[in-house]
Structure 1
Amino acid sequence: MIQIQAAVVSDFAEPASYRPIEIPEPRAGEELVEVLAAGLHPRVRSGARGAHYTSSGRLPQIPGIDGVGRRADGALVYFALDDDRFGSMATRAVVDPRRTIALPEGSDVVRIAAAMNPAMSSWVALRRRITLTPGAAVLVLGATGSAGTMAVRIAKLLGAGSVVAAGRDPRRLARLASLGADVRVRLTEDLDATASALAGAAADADVVLDYLWGAPSGRAIPALLRARTDRSRPLDWIEIGSVAGPDIVLPSAALRSAHLRLIGSGQGSIGPREYLAELPSLVEAINAGRIAVETRVAPLEEVHAVWAEQPQPGVRTVLMP
């Protein structure tokens, strides 16, 4: 066993605390890396509550699903982990080299740690779950969150002709025009009015990137389908997140009366090899500044206090040992 310092979750109802913990020695084909930066993503928080659909329920747990590290030979790498027991929020982590990609020296480790996970959600969805036709019309539901904001930009980078951005935060919504949003729709508590507004703005969308799900999506899907000029035209509705709720109520007629294709995108629907194949081009886009991300950096030893704070909308927290 190897003793390290790490953020440790001992109770799913409590924030992580910084303390010593032992992790297993690398097995054959694995290696130990020095962790330089790890993102405190919403996905990390849900896993640390035992609430993510991939959670095994094992404790104690070191949270963190990815990060930037340095190998024993000095090489800088981005790494992803698939073990929910021993994660990346630690001074060192055991990684599978097949789940790492080399980073150029001089890469901004904070930007990479902050952006890879949220950017990957739309990048991989548009590259691996559907065939995005050049010039396609895309609707992003939940566009004022970090991942949704990146999705607006990524849709344009990958060839979308127009993007409708829908979100709650009016300040962030206003800024999305500069990132490629052609139309912006404010989401409100009035679900029927919001669904009507979405139908008016994106009735003929080709793709929906849905970070909301729940009641807003349950109302929006029938409204958009009823408003389509040609209901036989395919609409790929890609479910990525569920910040508005884990379930929807959808009339069966919605599936019969229009060419609706409901698709999920996440761990399980996309294999590790597919994810890894997309990482080099995504790293290049982040390093080149083509995908914007707002960051906040905090020392790993302050994880307990940071964890308990209310996350800032649109800002990704990165912990550094």
Structure 2
Amino acid sequence: MDIHAAVVRSFDAPPRYEAFDLPAPSDEDHAVVEVLAVGLHPRVRSGAAGSHYTSTGSLPMVPGIDGVGRLADGRAVYFVADDVLGPMANRTVIDTRRSVALPVGADVLKIAAAMNPAMSAWVALRRRVPIEPGQSVLILGATGSAGQMAVQVAKRLGAGRVVGAGRDKARLDALPEVGADATVALSEDADATAAALADAACEVDLVIDYLWGKPASEAMMALLLARSDRSRALNWIQIGSMAGPTIELPSVALRSANFRLQGNGQGAVSTRAYLAELPSLIEEIDNGGLRVNAQAEPLTEVERAWTTPEVPGVRTVLIP
């Protein structure tokens, strides 16, 4: 069956809207859905560029990692993309075992926009290192879309204090509106940044890190050196690498403190565990518990939408 989709034929070029062949469902667990909305997430961009660690290098491909669709019986579902075909198309094939029915009247735009950026922190704080009521959290990279969402998620899951750290001053200043109790500006002045982090966040229980690279390495040492009781656990959850793929970490950081470093992502948490968290997260988004700003763009204009700089704090959603 011919469909129309955003098709990647080169990792060096944005996808183009063109005809594509829709494979038939392979078994009873797979079904064709009419796609209603697909988020254009950073993870989608890295996959389409062949740079994500899960990339197979195979082309052509239809990008996307999740979406909202309508089954043949009329039910709307949120789905995690199948390995066969991405969701940036007017129709796609999904594994129904990796989908969740949406409440009647659910805002598909909000759900398509928010599930991916919210899921990283949601799963991290419920499955990777379950947060305890009243614990404090530092969000490193809080001025990005996922980081801003993580501030809200931490509060909704019971954090007593949330500190947001990032570079974008305007977005940093707006974080108290979504739940941040304190903010730290990350600057080129390493000493000033370390002092500010130590002052605001040295006693936190958890760190959610979307940056990695040099900012993470410097932040780790700043927090550990200023901590009043180094035997009290500090759980560092690495999620993104916006500032670089590697860090330099002195071994003393692991020997001189109760410092636990781990990641959260595909492979660190099972698919089953991720799927188990979807209904509760959908409910939070749909009932307004998590604020999201979405900008709808037609799928026919995917090439333009792909190359247009995103407005900070706004997630682009493609609508077939």
**Fold agreement, TM-score > 0.5:** yes
Paired position in structure 2 for 1:72: 72
Following TM superposition, by how much is the alpha carbon of 1:131 offset from its aligned partner in structure 2, in angstroms? 2.3
Query: What SS does the aligned partner of 1:46 have?
Result: helix
Alignment of 1:149-298 (within 5 A): 149-298=148-297
Query: What SS does the aligned partner of 1:275 have?
Result: helix
Q: What is the TM-score normalised by the length of structure 2?
A: 0.98
Task: Write the distance in 2 (CA, Å) between the matches of 1:213 and 1:298.
Answer: 31
Structure 1 runs not aligned, ≥5 long: none
Query: What SS does the aligned partner of 2:45 have?
Result: helix
Post-superposition Cα deviations, 1:253-284, rounded to whole Å, max 9, x if no partner, equal 00000010001000000111100100100000
Tell me if the contact between 2:78 and 2:100 (Cα under 8 Å) persists in the aligned partners: yes
Query: What SS does the aligned partner of 1:236 have?
Result: strand
Following TM superposition, by how much is the alpha carbon of 1:195 offset from its aligned partner in structure 2, in angstroms? 2.3
Q: Establish whether residue 38 from structure 1 lines up as the match of residue 38 from structure 2.
A: yes
Tell me if the contact between 1:138 and 1:209 (Cα under 8 Å) persists in the aligned partners: yes
Post-superposition Cα deviations, 1:173-225, rounded to whole Å, max 9, x if no partner, equal 11111211111111112233212211111001100000000110011101110
Which amino acid counterpart does residue 34 of structure 2 have in structure 1?
E
Following TM superposition, by how much is the alpha carbon of 1:11 offset from its aligned partner in structure 2, in angstroms? 0.1
Which amino acid counterpart does residue 72 of structure 1 have in structure 2?
A
Tell me if the contact between 1:168 and 1:187 (Cα under 8 Å) persists in the aligned partners: yes
Task: Write the distance in 2 (CA, Å) between the matches of 1:317 and 1:236.
Answer: 32
> Aligned pair count?
319
Task: Write the distance in 2 (CA, Å) between the matches of 1:189 and 1:243.
Answer: 16
In angstroms, what is the RMSD of aligned CA positions?
Answer: 0.9
Following TM superposition, by how much is the alpha carbon of 1:79 offset from its aligned partner in structure 2, in angstroms? 0.4
Following TM superposition, by how much is the alpha carbon of 1:234 offset from its aligned partner in structure 2, in angstroms? 0.3
Tell me if the contact between 2:139 and 2:147 (Cα under 8 Å) persists in the aligned partners: yes
Following TM superposition, by how much is the alpha carbon of 1:310 offset from its aligned partner in structure 2, in angstroms? 1.5
Large movers: runs of 4+ above 4 Å? none
Paired position in structure 2 for 1:18: 17
Task: Write the distance in 1 (CA, Å) between the matches of 2:46 and 2:250.
Answer: 30
Query: What SS does the aligned partner of 1:38 have?
Result: strand
Query: What SS does the aligned partner of 1:26 have?
Result: coil
Q: Establish whether residue 300 from structure 1 lines up as the match of residue 299 from structure 2.
A: yes
Following TM superposition, by how much is the alpha carbon of 1:8 offset from its aligned partner in structure 2, in angstroms? 0.4
Following TM superposition, by how much is the alpha carbon of 1:306 offset from its aligned partner in structure 2, in angstroms? 0.9
- Percent of pairs with identical residues: 61
Paired position in structure 1 for 2:135: 136
Query: What SS does the aligned partner of 1:255 have?
Result: helix
Task: Write the distance in 2 (CA, Å) between the matches of 1:34 and 1:59.
Answer: 23
Following TM superposition, by how much is the alpha carbon of 1:82 offset from its aligned partner in structure 2, in angstroms? 4.3
More displaced, 18-27 or 69-78? 18-27
Which amino acid counterpart does residue 164 of structure 1 have in structure 2?
V
Structure 2 runs not aligned, ≥5 long: none
Following TM superposition, by how much is the alpha carbon of 1:109 offset from its aligned partner in structure 2, in angstroms? 0.6
Tell me if the contact between 2:124 and 2:130 (Cα under 8 Å) persists in the aligned partners: no
Paired position in structure 2 for 1:87: 86
Which amino acid counterpart does residue 59 of structure 2 have in structure 1?
L
Tell me if the contact between 1:134 and 1:159 (Cα under 8 Å) persists in the aligned partners: yes
Tell me if the contact between 1:136 and 1:159 (Cα under 8 Å) persists in the aligned partners: yes
Task: Write the distance in 2 (CA, Å) between the matches of 1:296 and 1:273.
Answer: 30
Q: What is the TM-score normalised by the length of structure 1?
A: 0.98
